[in-house]
Structure 1
Amino acid sequence: MSEKVRCHDWAGTPLGPIHSWPAVLRIAVDMLLASRFPGCLAWGAERIMFYNDAFKPLLQGKPQALGLPLSTVWSEVWDDIEPIVTRAFEGEATFIEDFPLVIQRNGRAEQAYFTFCYSPVRDEHGTIVGMLDTVIETTATLQARDKAEQAAEGFEREAMARTAERNRFWDLSSDIMLVASRRLEITAINPAWSRVLGWSAEDLVGRHAIDLIHPDDHEAVAVAMVPLYRGERLHDMTCRLRHRDGSYRWIAWAAVPAEDSFHSVGRDVTEERERALLLQQVEEQLRHSLKMEAVGQLTGGLAHDFNNLLTGISASLELLRQRVEQGRIGELKRYIDAAQGASARAATLTHRLLAFSRRQTLAPRAVEPKALIADLEDLVRQTLGPSIEFSAQSDDDVWWVRVDANQLESALLNLCINARDAMPGGGSLWLRARNHHQFARARTENDLQPGQYVCLSVTDSGTGMDPQTIARVFDPFFTTKPLGQGTGLGLSMVYGFVRQSGGQIRVDSSLGQGTAMHLFLPRHTGEIGATLPVLTGALIDTEATGETIVLIDDEGTLRQMVGEALREKGYRVLEAANGVEGLSLVQGGLKADLLITDIGLPGGLDGRQVADAAWAMEPGLKVLFITGYVDQTAAMDELPEAVAHVLTKPFSLDHLTHTVRSMLVRR
């Protein structure tokens, strides 16, 4: 089958030539072909079919199936299996034992049975792109089971008659047979017990059957026995029975009740259970492989961009040093600007990666979407240009949300810029806010959970996207723009911000029909605080008057540079390398005007704990948190907005001193 896949004319299928296949498809096909377990792969919206050598016997008598839609190959049973296939493409794995199907093979219709698992195949971003069918045909096994059930029904009559025919069957059957009283005391077993479980009649007659059943199966067996006590037949009850050597075997039972006893036939299905376990292991290996492919793609893109930026920084510094040694100080500004520019781009890259991974530092507060959109409207119009008609609309009763307002503005502006780029010849763009009630239960982690949300939609009349592009639109470093015109991180950042804020993002698009990006953000149900006053430039530019600042950071070089910059602005700065030292400065009777602290600190106290202890002594103390990374579990929510601010590393010293001045002059 590997050779057939390589030689197949894939260009004539919706998948296109092999060299254009995405990595996730190539990996899935390679793993399928390498497996010795029967497997079939259905890919894409058309459900294009692949299968391995072990699967071929299931197609005996059928035409060539490779590259055809699943619905074509199995047209005679499509009505039966299509709902299960649909569930797999919606994210639900289904395992079914002994599924009955009437199939066409060898020129006629045959009743067949299959045990299979339909599992969704996801790409590196969790998007479902295919379905894996691992399957074994159990027709022969079911036929044997039916014979065993029929034997159980006839066994009661034969046991009462004590006929020679009954005795031969009893002695020669490969299935274990059991006669037990209604109190489940064993009264007879056939010789198969010795072959299957190692027990003889002398070992078991007179013992209670429950002694052989695995303790974990006692409850299930008790429930299954209820119909027998009502005079009904029992079939397809599976439990573990103890072998004489102490191990356990899985036995599938069929039984019928008599007046004072139960007559049962059991079939050893241990190997079938082990094959089912193998199915799960194969699927786990496939998921792990896809995950590793995603990690490789991310690290490759990251290494490429950072190597470029680091090269620019190191080269600028190297030339800067040479020019200083040569005394050519007139050229220094060019190299300084180049190094700072590369550093700024590196900071932007790390910020976007943290946003995509939902680990960026956020400062959430209550935000009114209607007011935010109104503030953005002029900026968006200037960005779009005259060839694009723009409309902004908010429902009158739109709820408030709790998000980082700056990040939300950045996300909406990013989506508007993408929409603009999708309309090179002009078009229309709509920005709208509305309320949304989600009632349906979420089936997967990526589904919108039930609750109340505000939906912010950015809709354009541009070129739209095909399903393959939609599936990868939030992938890091994926872009459809020409080389040099996009990093492939903009939408990744939007996606990560929305997910970190407790929301979800949905994409509606088709080629030639435009695109709609819907951001769902949870409704804010808490109190709505007063908006902080906007500071004028005159107030911020006022000189320092000797205010005292406590600076806590475990990175010595950073602490030294920040302290030096603040002292040059006229502040008195006391430095500490950990939370315990910094808190002792505040508790030592020092009247501090501002506390600057990293969030992650050594010494047993993190920055938030230091701030909380300081606020307990002086509730009005201003605190500036500086950090390069905040885990979602970090307790940075519910900060008092009037006295606290968060500054994300890396930052410029000018930005730091500007922030410090604005906090100290605010009243």
Structure 2
Amino acid sequence: MLDPQGIVSSWNPGAERFKGYKAEEIIGQHFSRFYTEEDRQASVPRQALAAASDEGKYETEGWRVRKDGSQFWASVVIDPIRGEHGELLGFAKITRDITERKNAQEALRQSQEQFRLLVQGVTDYAIFMLDPTGRVTNWNSGAERMKGYAAAEIIGQHFSRFYTDEDRAADVPNRALRTAGREGRIEMEGWRVRQDGRRFWANVVIDAIRDETGGLIGFGKVTRDITEQRQAQKALEEAREALFQAQKMEAVGQLTGGVAHDFNNLLQIISSSLEAVEQRLAAGQITVGQHMAAARTAVDRAASLTQRLLAFARRQPLKPEYTNLNALVPGMRDLVQNSVGEAVQVEMRLSEGLWPIRVDANQVESALLNLAINARDAMPDGGRLVFETSNIRMSKADVASESGVAPGDYVMLAVTDTGNGMTPDVLSRAFEPFFTTKPVGQGTGLGLSQVYGFARQSDGCVRLESEVGRGTSVKLYLPRYHGAEEMRLVPQSAPEPQTLVAGAVLVVEDEAILRMLLVEVLEEQGYTVLEAESGNAALPLITSAERIDLLVTDVGLPGINGRQLAEMARSLRPDLKVLFLTGYAYTAMDREVLGPGTELLSKPIPIDRFCSRVRRMLQGS
């Protein structure tokens, strides 16, 4: 207790404990001695009593001084004590030592300030907060630099303004918040828009922020501009794909001799069969089935070889898919045999129950062909080339020397020859790009490096074993695929009715003999047939009043090509159906872009299949 002038009149054990004075030492002394020298000079004690007297209560915090001179942070409450008639009798003063709380609050304040300075000092990341509805509540300097908005311009605005029109129309911003709120976090990449309208490719992380009770109070959002990294990655992928395509084309060049030899044999079979048929018919004999069957078999073999060669050579996007090497490797046998020649015996040793893998099948074929060509060059006098598959479990010790390769289940594909083998110094450099022991003009040195790159891109590895005079074995280890098989089911179609369908067909084909055969077949089926030898020659028919229900056109026409002709025809005749004929390889992607009322057949085309397709298209099914 204090009297009206501030003299201490009572003192409890708590005051003695944290201020250090015994009652007899302090009673009768002025309470200002507990204040710091600065506060006394500023008349803070006197002002505190005056405020308590005038306002009925005085409450504050500040530094106070113990008997030993040490200071503590105090919470102080002073209440006036009045008599029955309102006269001031003195003051009741309650003091609490809250130094620890003060220190904790100061530490928290300093931590928050340091964090604020850290966030504000980060200029490569946009770091800001959103309220639960997605409105911006704070904004760092990195966000201003990256997105172009000053804090005053953007705080209170919805964060969706950073998204593209397409993303806003698809409700991407709100869906992102819902996902973050539900799962606690979302990470995504996409185009974002700066204040000046320019776009940049962003990596975005949104974290949900919750209070102690689990209630959602907002979101923390971190954005990085990774446009340059994306462009660099895209350039690297394009360069890698171009290198891969160049290596494929080199392999095709290496194949030319073998393919020409095989085609000459097939042409000989066809030519001899036709001559035999002519001779028998001239002699009045009609038993020509054996010779016709031989010619048809040769045509089928040539068509299969051409399609595989074209599919292999064409530029295609690399696409990992479910693959079983026991199905893929045997399909390469003809191309491999053509590339190595008759002096090399090709063997297949395929392990039963082979695990599936997920790789780009086109890359596997390219790797096999490159290895086959290397093996052929290592066996100038002939030899044996063995393709082998098996399941392998690799331990940590097995992959210890392979950086980035995890232990686990792998499928091994080995290509082994009985050729010259490699010396240790050649073996040590075999995977280096552009390293080759072949004479100038006979190899780029990209074959084994391409195989190595393919294996590593597929999360696998490749190992090389070779001994001079005993041959070489290249072993690819590709990780087992544990996903479900990607089935490609072909619907079974019921036999088509052979009813005649009326209609007018325009046939556009620059190969005169083929055009003649197609026209003749269609006329025998009862169709009205128009014909033209080129896209330019077909235009007058397209623009005339002639009835045309179906356009049958080669894709690779001179001048106006088949696709251009079809577009012009469709602009004049929107309901016109189009059947493309092509001598090139095509993929499922080609079929997808054809559109309704448009189909494609690859040459050579069996006549019955051609007639069936024409009939089906004219029926509108």
Normalising by structure 1, we get a TM-score of 0.34
Greater relative contact order, per chain length (Cα 8 Å cut-off, separation 6+) = 1
The structure whose Rg is larger is 2
